[in-house]
Amino acid sequence: MGPLSGLLVADFSRILAGPYATMLLADLGAQVIKVEGPAGDDTRTWMPPVRDDVSTYYLGINRNKRSIALDLKNPADLDVAQRLAARADVMIENFRPGGLRRFALDYDTVAAGNAKIVYASISGFGTGAGANYPGYDLMVQAVSGLMSLTGDPDGSPYRAGISVFDVMAGLHASIGILAALHHRDATGSGQHVEVNLLSSALSGLVNHSSAYVAGGTVPFRMGNAHPSLFPYEPLPTADGELIVIAGNDGQFRKLCQVLDLPELPDDPRFGRNQDRTANREALRPLLVERLAKRTKDEWFRELLAAGVPCAPINTIDGGVALAEELGLDPVVESGGVPGVRNPITFSGTPAGYELPPPGLDEHGEEIRAWLTKD
C-alpha cells in the first residue's frame, strides 16, 4: 500500500506535464483514472521508438492508471466525466485556461459540488494575458531564456535534450497537489492549484534567473562551462572527454594531488574558486596536459577514489548500466512493461507498479459501471 492509497485522481491532462505528475502519484498508491478523448492521448502516436507497436513516449509516463475514453461533447459521456469529478479527491487538467468551463468541469463548478476537491491546472503561460498562448515546452525553452544559455558561445542557441519544463511543471504540480491535500486534511477545504510552464522555467533556471533578478546580470551562453566554477566541464583525456569538477577549494587540492600538480593550489591565480574562475584560460591547459597522459576510465576511477567529482559522458544505456551497477535498480516492470522506477524511496510505504500503461478506454466499461451504480 503506497502512501497515497485511497486517493482518487481524475486525470483530464494529456501529453507530458500532467501525465508525468499523475504517474508519480499513481506510483505512490493513488487511483488514477486517465480521461482521454475518443482519439486518445496525443503521445500514443508519438513514435518511433515503439514497444509492441505502442509509443515508448506514452509508455514512459502512463503506468499505474486506468483509461476511459470520453467525448465531452456527448451528453452521456459528459455526465460520466462530471460524476468522476464529483467523486475525485484530485482533478488535474491542462486544457487552455477556461476551456473546461463550457463542460461545467472548471474549478468553480466542480468545487461547488465537491468542496474538498484539490483541482490542479497546468497551462503554458498562466491565465492572464498569456492564456491563449499554446503551451509547448519548446516555446518556453525559447522565451524563458534557457536556449540562450544552451550551446556553444559562438553557435546557435539549442533546446535541451528533453522537454525539461514540462517535466518541471509536472513536478511542481505534484508538490502543489500534495501541499493542498495537507491543507485539506487540516481544514477540510480543497483549493485550486495552478502551475504554468513559464513560471516553472524561471524558477528552474535558479542561479541564472537569480543572476538577473538579484544581480542585474544577463547570463550568456558558455557551452559546457560554468559561469561561477572552474573546473566544472568536460576536459580531454587520452581517449575522450571526462567531466571534471572542483566544487570547492578542497576538491581542487585533491584534483591537483592526483594529477601530480601540487603547486597549483598555492598559486595565487588558482587558490580560491573565484580566482580559478577568473583565470580559467590559464588553468585549463595545465590540467589538460596532465589528463592527456591517461584514459578517461583510468582517471574516472582514480579521481573518484580521491574524492574528486568526475564522470564519463555516457549515452542513456550507459546511464542505466551505471545505476544498475550502483544497486539503484533503475528498471521496474508494470504488467510486463519495463519502465524507469519512481525516484523516491520510502522506508515503510514503497512505490508500486501494478498496472501497465493502459490501452485506450481499456477500463471504460468498468469505470462507467462504478460511477453510475449509485
Q: Which residues does the annotation mark as catalytic?
A: 166
Query: Phi first, then psi: what are they for 232, rounded to 5°?
Result: -160, 65
Whole-angstrom CA distances from 216 to 29, 115, 213 are 45, 44, 6
Total count of residues recorded for the chain: 374
Whole-number Å distance between alpha carbons of 165 and 200:
7
Selection from 89, 70, 73, 82 nearest residue 14 by Cα: 70
- Cβ atoms of 141 and 159 within 8 Å: the answer is yes
CA dihedral 185, 187, 189, 194 (to 10 degrees): -70
Spatial CB neighbours of 44, under 8 Å, sequence gap ≥ 6: 54, 55, 58, 360
Q: How many CB atoms within 10 Å of residue 240?
A: 12
46 to each of 58, 117, 134, 266, how far by Cα in Å?
8, 32, 19, 55
355: which DSSP letter? S
